Structure 1
């Protein structure tokens, strides 16, 4: 089950999505008012440890709209270590201990905004392959420090339409999964207002599962960009900024303690700077 053509198709599309999001974010920076220069992404090639593959880490810092945003793409391969093998076996991946080789590709995005009224956001889509299995995963969730009902409704409406076009139960299933996955147990609260999350998606129809993952990625800009544009000029106070920094502390706690992607990236030797690009530039704990 080599699936070489399918893997190349998925990796190429993740790369294309990365390119379009980077271009859209830089165009929003150009459109935003402000005396400071419009933000631009710094792009760095990444390599994965002693095994194979790598990717592109694209980070913008100190823009007019984005205080820090990363849009990473990767395509990596190699051999899973014992801890990763055990984790995969526990999830029911067949044959992983007999042959622990793997391939994975995806896009990962986290945006922390300048204006406290503009919500932070996360998105990723990915494909994972082993000699005996393949699956897709991903999702997106909105993380406002000051929740605005109109923004939350728009974000979820786009995701609901995207999911329902593929299966009538996908939105309810994957929204519930996001609510569970993006919960911070030691704080007893969610890190944001949710979205969708799915993993281990393999219906037996690769084209259908890729089409769904493709559409989740395509839905990101329509779901998020209008919110960023609408809120980038909203007046804000020192109290708003304080609330933003405190909320970012929750985001950092979640990503360092619970996030599956962070754990996998660090455990398998991927570039640590790329794995940890999701962390906010500034945060506060009280």
Structure 2
């Protein structure tokens, strides 16, 4: 591996950690400033942070990260912000999936990999505040590297102005890298965040991309950074606008049913969930995205 790639890996891993620190601080500030509503008298929520470890089949160290989860806050019912940097050898099933989807040559002869990224899912107390997901990552094998990720909004009570704001921020940040980026990756999100057995989307979309490698690592890393930078300005104004809205038992019921859709998607279709479980990562960290409560009708 070249010194240049070693440096690039270190920079990507450090960026995901810095983004995690910024988001965690911002969310804890939201908790501290919630002074109205049924939970305002409770202590503000704080993240519980624990290290995660990945162990290879032979028992050797294979990386890990930080799992940061806040439960039962004033605003956030459950939110997780995880970062990890893992490495090792891909199993046969993961090799086959990579070769089939990405056409990477030489996977069987040299199945080493390295991956680093951030993953965030927030489930909110107030049904009028949308749930949200964001992740960005870098993946490397001896024969290829690429970036992937995205963000999508998952309201149970939809507000057109909230959807418009969320998409506008994503578009503004993506436009720095070409006018074609946002429409292409919005369309991919519409396709990817779809639940075939329900014949509906899990939310109101966002952006999604994978296998992103133009051959210019700096440019592709810059795009991935801007997708991450877009998250807080896209989401926090929606929290501010809706967190004081009163809700009814019917609103709460709709929220729990919608969370059922989210759980179905993540357990059946999500690529990150499948990859994490298949490659031996900490299952608690992989399944952090699941809601604390959900229901099915």
Normalising by structure 1, we get a TM-score of 0.99
1:25 to 15, 24, 27: 27
Q: Please show how residues 207-246 of structure 1 align to structure 2 within 5 Å.
A: 207-246=218-257
What is aligned with 1:145?
156
What is aligned with 2:10?
8
* CA distances 1:23-61 after superposition (whole Å, capped 9, x unpaired): 000000000120010000000100012251000000000
What is aligned with 1:261?
272
What is aligned with 1:73?
83
The answer to whether the aligner puts 1:117 opposite 2:117 as a matched pair is: no
| Separation in structure 2 between the aligned mates of residue 237 and residue 140 of structure 1, nearest angstrom | 28
1:90 to 88, 97, 100: 100
| Separation in structure 2 between the aligned mates of residue 97 and residue 153 of structure 1, nearest angstrom | 45
Q: Please show how residues 175-186 of structure 1 align to structure 2 within 5 Å.
A: 175-186=186-197
What is aligned with 2:111?
100
The answer to whether the aligner puts 1:47 opposite 2:49 as a matched pair is: no
Structure 1 segments of 4+ aligned residues over 6 angstroms from their partners: none
The answer to whether the aligner puts 1:206 opposite 2:217 as a matched pair is: yes
* CA distances 1:80-129 after superposition (whole Å, capped 9, x unpaired): 00000000000212221110000000000000000000000000000000
Instruction: Tell me by how many angstroms 1:209 deviates.
Output: 0.1
The runs of 5 or more residues in structure 2 that have no matched partner are none
The answer to whether the aligner puts 1:136 opposite 2:147 as a matched pair is: yes
SS in 1 for 2:263: helix
The answer to whether the aligner puts 1:58 opposite 2:68 as a matched pair is: yes
SS in 1 for 2:55: coil
| Separation in structure 2 between the aligned mates of residue 202 and residue 283 of structure 1, nearest angstrom | 38
* CA distances 1:169-189 after superposition (whole Å, capped 9, x unpaired): 111100000000000000000
Equivalent pair of 1:89/1:97 in contact (CA under 8 Å): no
| Separation in structure 1 between the aligned mates of residue 14 and residue 180 of structure 2, nearest angstrom | 29
Instruction: Tell me by how many angstroms 1:168 deviates.
Output: 1.2
Instruction: Tell me by how many angstroms 1:165 deviates.
Output: 1.2
The runs of 5 or more residues in structure 1 that have no matched partner are none
Comparing 45-54 with 122-131, greater Cα deviation is found at 45-54
RMSD, aligned CA:
0.7
Instruction: Tell me by how many angstroms 1:160 deviates.
Output: 0.8
What is aligned with 1:154?
165
| Separation in structure 2 between the aligned mates of residue 6 and residue 210 of structure 1, nearest angstrom | 9
SS in 2 for 1:39: coil
| Separation in structure 1 between the aligned mates of residue 107 and residue 213 of structure 2, nearest angstrom | 16
| Separation in structure 1 between the aligned mates of residue 261 and residue 49 of structure 2, nearest angstrom | 27
What is aligned with 1:284?
295
